[in-house]
Structure formats: C-alpha cells, structure tokens
Amino acid sequence: MESITIKDVAKICGVSVSTVSRAINNNPGINEETKNMIMQVIKKYDYIPNNSARNLKRSETNNIAILIKGLNNPFFSPMIAEFEKEIKKKKYTFILQRVDENQDEIEVAIELEKEKRLKGIVFLGGYFSHSREKLEKLTVPFVLSTVGMSEMIEGVKYSSVAVDDKKESYKIVDYLCKLGHKKIAIISATDDDESIGKLRFEGYMRALCDNNIEFNPDLVYYLQSGNDRYSMRSGYIAGKKIVKEKADCTAIFAITDIIAMGALRAIYEEGYKVPEDYSIAGYDGLELSRYYIPSLTTIRQPVEKIAVETLKVLFDMINEKTDSVHKVFDGELIIGESVKNI
Amino acid sequence: MESITIKDVAKICGVSVSTVSRAINNNPGINEETKNMIMQVIKKYDYIPNNSARNLKRSETNNIAILIKGLNNPFFSPMIAEFEKEIKKKKYTFILQRVDENQDEIEVAIELEKEKRLKGIVFLGGYFSHSREKLEKLTVPFVLSTVGMSEMIEGVKYSSVAVDDKKESYKIVDYLCKLGHKKIAIISATDDDESIGKLRFEGYMRALCDNNIEFNPDLVYYLQSGNDRYSMRSGYIAGKKIVKEKADCTAIFAITDIIAMGALRAIYEEGYKVPEDYSIAGYDGLELSRYYIPSLTTIRQPVEKIAVETLKVLFDMINEKTDSVHKVFDGELIIGESVKNI
DNA sequence: TTGTAGGCGTTATCAA
DNA sequence: TTGATAACGCCTACAA
C-alpha cells in the first residue's frame, strides 16, 4: 500500500537522504561503495522516485514535450518515432502529450510546461490561430512542426518546420494538368476550415489558373464538417457524391491521402475504375498510400527530415544559438497508379 | 518568466492561500463572493495550478491512465476515442501514456501510479508476461484490454476484457475451409512471439484439424522479427515470398488486417488477383479494411464494446463492487471481397 | 564524502 | 467562512 520513499531508503541504508539523492541522480562526489550499496537497496526494495516531487523541486529538467492533435492520424506515426529516437539520442526525455480535438493546445502546453518544467515544446500538426498574448505565455522555446500556417505570428519567438502546402498542392495539381486533365475536381475542407484545407485549395486554384483552366465551382466537393472530416469515411461520402452527380471531371484532387482512399473506394463501389475512369491524387505520402490498390499518386512530405530538423531547430533555440527559424522543405511528387495520362 | 503561484494570487486577492485553494477546487464552505473575486483574479493573471505540486500533495485523484504499446496501431484509435469519452463522462481525468516497444509496461505503470496518484489503469494491447511479484507492486485496480493472454496470472487481482483470439481465428479459418479451401497458408509471427501471434496460430491449427486438413508446415510464413513485424511492409514481404515460391495454396490467413493488406499488395504487384488467384483473410476488423480494395474478409473485434466494458469493470473494481472479472467478447466475421468460394 | 535544513507549490488539518 | 501551518517527496545549498 504505502510506497517507499527516499527517506525510507536512507533509513534502511543508514545514510542521509541527500546521499541517496546523489546516488540516484548520478551526482559526482559520492563514494562508489556507498552508491553501490544504496543502489542495491533501491533495487531490492523497488524504490521508484516520485516524479511529481522531482518536477516540483527541480529547477530544470531535460523534458521535451510533443503536443499532438489528432493522434490517430497515421501521418504522425513515423514522425513520432523519429522524435523519440532523436530526443533520446540527445539524452532528453520525450513526453508525448495528446491534445483533444476541441482542446486548446496552448492551454495544454502552458499547463504542461509548469508541471514538467519543460525545456522545449513541439506542436505537431493541426492549425494554429492563437493570439500573440497567448503565445507569449509560453516561456520555453517551441517549434511548429507540419503545422499549416496561414500567417506568421508577429512579435513572438518561435520556429516552424513544414512544407509549403500551397506550393506542393500546386505541384500535384499542375502535374495533373500537364497530363492533360482539364476538368479536375477537388475534395476539400469547407471554407471556414483554417489552415491546410485552405492552403491546399489555394494551390489548386493557382495551378488551374496557370494552366489556363477556368475554375469551376461545381467541381469543388466539400467534406462534411466535424471532427472526422479528414477521415476515410468523409472522403468516401464525397466520392459517392462525385460519382452519383456524374461530376464532369477526369481527375480528382483530394487534400489528404486518407480522403483520397475513401473516395477511391466509393468510386470503386459505384462500378468505376481508377485511373481509367477517374484519376485521383492525394497529399501526404503516407506509407499506406504505397500499399493501397491502386497506389496513390501523391505529394510525400519528408516526415523524417521534418522531424529531425524540428528538433535541431528546437535544440538550437534551447541553446540560444538562434531565436527563430522558419524552415520549409520541399515535398516529393510520388507517381503512383491512381492517375493516368490522357 | 517566473510564473505566478497560488501565493501570488492570495496576495493579490488579500486572502490566504487556503482560501484560494478552496476556490480553485470548488470546496464547500467558501463564500460565493470571495470565490468569484478570486476566480476573476485568477483569470486576469492567468494563474494555472502546478500539477506536480497538486499530485504530490493530494491524497487521491480521479486520474485514470491508459497505457498503450504500439500507439501507431490503427486498431487502438477507436478504442482510445471511446475511453476518453467514457472517462470524461464519469468525471475522471484521462491520461494516455505511451509505452515504448522495448519498455516494460509495468515499470511505467508503477512510476505513473506514484507520479499521478492513479485511481486505475488500463493496459491496452500488447502481450503480458509479467511475474506475479511485479504485478503485485501495482496497488490500484487495473484491467487488461485486448491483451492477448496466454494464461491467467494466479493470485493477482486484475481484470481483463478481450476476445478469444484462438476461437476467433478458428472461426475465420474454419470459414475458409467451409468455402472449400483446403490449402490455407498462414502469415504468422515467429514461434518466440508470445501472445496474439501464438494464439491466432493455434486457432488456425485447430480449424484445419477439425476440417480434416492436414497441417502443412510449408504453408506457414513467418513475419520477420523485429519491432515492425506487424507492419504492412512486413506483410508485403511475406506476400512476395508466398507468390515467388509459388506456394501451393488457395487461401492465406494473415494474423492482422495490416499484414493482410501488405500481402495483398505484394500479390497484386506480382500480377495475381485477390480473390481470384488467392483468397486472403485478415483479423481485427479495422475501419481501413472496409475501404481497402478489395475489402477484407476479417474478424472484427468489437472495439467500442470492449472499451466500454473495460471501463465498466475498472470502475467496478475502483468502487469495490468486484475484485476481478474476465470478460470475453465474441468477434464478428466480416465478409469482405478478399475471399472466394471454391 | 556526507549530513542538515530549507523550500518547490499545493492541499489538508486544525484552530480561530 | 477564513487563516496558519504542517506535510507531500524530493533536490540542493551549505555546513560539517
């Protein structure tokens, strides 16, 4: 029931608590023998230090937190793995904190910063439309990683690492155009959706324009709004609609791979074929999209690179080598089996 | 820089810290007016209590932790969502804790129990081969949810909620047999893999036996070992092997949907068709498997039910309505497009 | 190399 | 209804 504390260990060992503390924290200036003896007792009695007490007392830690909205998004999986690896390599402690869809990530961050005495924070994915005042409450360095930024936030020290959503979405839509597609539908988020939905839509518009294709509002299919708007189901519904309305298009650009796959399935169920009847392009470059049948033509975000760079920037900020860096990576056009040349 | 503490708030309000404490904790016996006044100040100065201090001092909390190994597994996504919903509904606090692949979940649990003064713990997925002594260090109720159990652990109070892996895997392999398949390959984990790999393999064996099909060791394809053995890639590799070796089978049972999809893709790339050339069955019933083309024939684990029941059991344990319950749910055979009748 | 004592930010137990 | 004050378990000067 009652769990053992540092005092108990000290008593058992016949030393003072500070000596025990030194032993468990690998402090210098402690006799090897006493240390060994203490460690043995600790092992025997299974003493585990209380983290709350440690965090409370410690002036600083090596804790780095990754805050992530939409944990179930497979896009994040490889990034998380990379973060963990890198953070451990640097001898920091990795804390993964999930943020609920309708929770304010900054609030969570502020709370966690206090609780864990964070050294730095990474915000992963999602949007970011927070006021300056709020962001200023964050007193440790933070980096936005693959966060669709609609605009820079003035007067706040922070960094960001991501691809340029607009540019990349332009890239893939332009690719569709160059293959001869002139009627390209888009499955996109509703107007009120900030961030990636908007940015990727802008890239689409621009690409059409540069290819002298007139924008046809009838070819814009909106995802249902709601928390699962970026789901397969949501793409599926949009796909069904496209087919049933006999949308006048030869290609479809879905703003994420997941949505593309949902749409693909819908088209398949309606008896059409991809890419023969409809070409479909996605965005993200999930591992899954290589294994889907047909594999997706998509924009691959260099997730590993982004993760590594995110931490590099964060550590640079922590070590005061830099104040603020905004790094943009190129996406890679992956040519899969879901788009045909016409 | 320096963040505001309860003392500061007390000073600003001209009251004592205990009064502030009462205000933030909704304690009875505090004047409504003073409370309002304090809350206003708190809002204005953005005071946020330090969780470490709270956890340290508080005798008990309403924290429930979900520990999960293999966070990236899409199988867990809907379960996590359900857990969160239910836990919040009961006015408890939901703590999601990721456990690294080569970390000991019990160690993590013990540490977290101290740090957060947990009320209860749910272990999600993975295997479980811990000694009794170790488990006894857990002093709060815990439930194993969808944890493949090779055997009951004697003399320890704990509960479990899951499907019977052996029975369900029997069910789907038997289904294959009944459709006329006599040569059924299996993609399974290596022998040394505990838990689900083993259990699902046993179901396969039993089903073959009951259908008077002789077991053919050549039709057992092992996943590469390693942390990503349950990945698409891993299934893909096995699938390639099956085709290239011209395995003498009409059907393949993959022990998870993810693996099945990887194998499916491999077969597709080699120019064969599913289910025309090979029938493939999976296990888990992921949402994704309904959207894959072809959709998978699989065993769907009733994840929502399992999640709800897991918490019900946990709360019953917390409230001492029960000591230990072992609940088994039935899986559901989902008939997809990946298996044909021969 | 070790021990003593103060304090991290809270909550809980008193007494007022 | 409020206020002192003692913990919670640990780390860290400082002293020995």
Per-residue pLDDT of B71-85, as tens digits, reads: 788 999 999 999 999
More confident residue, A91 or B194: A91
For residue B78, with 0-12 CB atoms within 10 Å meaning exposed, 13-18 middle and 19 or more buried, which class applies?
middle
Per-residue model confidence (pLDDT) at position A150 = 59
Per-residue model confidence (pLDDT) at position B194 = 65
Which residues numbered 29-58 in chain B sit less than 7 A from strand D, measured from CB? Answer: 29-35, 53, 56-57
β-bridge pairing B184-188 and B251-254: parallel
Strand C and B21 CB separated by under 7 Å? yes
- Model-level pTM? 0.92
Per-residue model confidence (pLDDT) at position B150 = 60
Per-residue model confidence (pLDDT) at position B85 = 93
Per-residue model confidence (pLDDT) at position A102 = 82
Name the maximum alpha-carbon separation found in chain A.
84
Interchain proximity A139–B71, CB inside 8 Å: no
Distances (CA, A) of A286 to A175, A186, B105, B192: 19, 19, 29, 31
Strand C and A80 CB separated by under 7 Å? no
Which protein residue's Cα is closest to nucleotide D13 at C1'?
A18
A178-218 residue pLDDT tens: 999 999 999 998 876 667 888 999 999 999 999 999 999 99
More confident residue, A71 or A251: A251
Distance CA B318, CA A333 (A): 53
CATH number 3.40.50.1820 is the correct assignment for the domain at A6-55: no
Per-residue model confidence (pLDDT) at position B164 = 94
CATH 3.40.50.2300 region(s) of chain B?
61-163+302-329, 166-300
B21-30 residue pLDDT tens: 999 998 888 8
Question: Rounded mean pLDDT of B184-191?
Answer: 90
For residue B1, list chain A residues with Cβ-Cβ distance below 8 A: 139
Per-residue model confidence (pLDDT) at position A65 = 96
Which residues numbered 16-45 in chain A sit less than 7 A from strand D, measured from CB? Answer: 17-18, 21-22, 24-25, 27
Q: Is A81 on the interface with B (CB under 8 A)?
A: yes
Residue ranges of the alpha helices (H) in B245-302? Answer: 257-269, 288-291
Distance CA A338, CA A179 (A): 13
Question: What number of other Cβ atoms are within 10 A of residue A23's Cβ?
Answer: 23
More confident residue, A93 or B225: A93
Q: Count Cα atoms within 13 angstroms, Cβ side, for A17.
A: 6
A235-287 residue pLDDT tens: 999 999 999 999 999 999 999 999 999 999 999 999 999 999 999 999 999 99
Contacts of A166 (CB under 8 A, 6+ apart): A199, A200, A202, A203, A206
Per-residue model confidence (pLDDT) at position A220 = 96
B109-150 residue pLDDT tens: 999 999 999 999 999 987 777 778 888 889 999 999 998 766
- Is the predicted pLDDT of residue A149 greater than 80, yes or no? no
B292-338 residue pLDDT tens: 999 999 999 999 999 999 999 999 999 989 989 999 999 999 999 99
- Is the predicted pLDDT of residue A320 greater than 60, yes or no? yes
CATH 1.10.260.40 region(s) of chain A?
6-55
For residue A155, name the pLDDT band (cuts at 50, 70, 90): confident
For residue A217, with 0-12 CB atoms within 10 Å meaning exposed, 13-18 middle and 19 or more buried, which class applies?
exposed
More confident residue, B58 or A127: B58
Per-residue model confidence (pLDDT) at position A272 = 97
Per-residue model confidence (pLDDT) at position A342 = 87
* Minimum-distance nucleotide, CA of B29 to C1': D1
**Residue of B293, B296, B338 for testing the chain A interface, max A β-carbons within 10 Å:** B293
Per-residue model confidence (pLDDT) at position B28 = 85
pLDDT above 90 covers what percent of chain A?
A: 77
Closest-CA residue of B relative to A262 is B291
More confident residue, B170 or B194: B170
Distance CA A183, CA A338 (A): 16
- Is the predicted pLDDT of residue A58 greater than 60, yes or no? yes
For residue A53, list chain B residues with Cβ-Cβ distance below 8 A: 52, 56
Which of B114, B236, B291 lies nearest to residue A291, judging by beta carbons? B236
DSSP for B69-107, written as a single string: E-TT-TTTHHHHHHHHHHHHHTTPEEEEEEE-TTS-HHH
B240-299 residue pLDDT tens: 999 999 999 999 999 999 999 999 999 999 999 999 999 999 999 999 999 999 999 999
Per-residue model confidence (pLDDT) at position A100 = 85
**What superfamily in CATH does domain A61-163+302-329 come from?**
Response regulator (3.40.50.2300)
Calculated CA dihedral for residues A30, A34, A37, A38, nearest 10 degrees: -50
**What superfamily in CATH does domain B166-300 come from?**
Response regulator (3.40.50.2300)
Distance CA A330, CA A53 (A): 44
Interchain proximity B232–A287, CB inside 8 Å: yes
For all residues of chain B together, what is the average pLDDT?
92
Q: What type of residue sits at position A316?
A: D
For residue A28, name the pLDDT band (cuts at 50, 70, 90): confident
Q: How far is the CA of B107 from the C1' of D9 (A)?
A: 19
Question: What number of other Cβ atoms are within 10 A of residue A208's Cβ?
Answer: 22
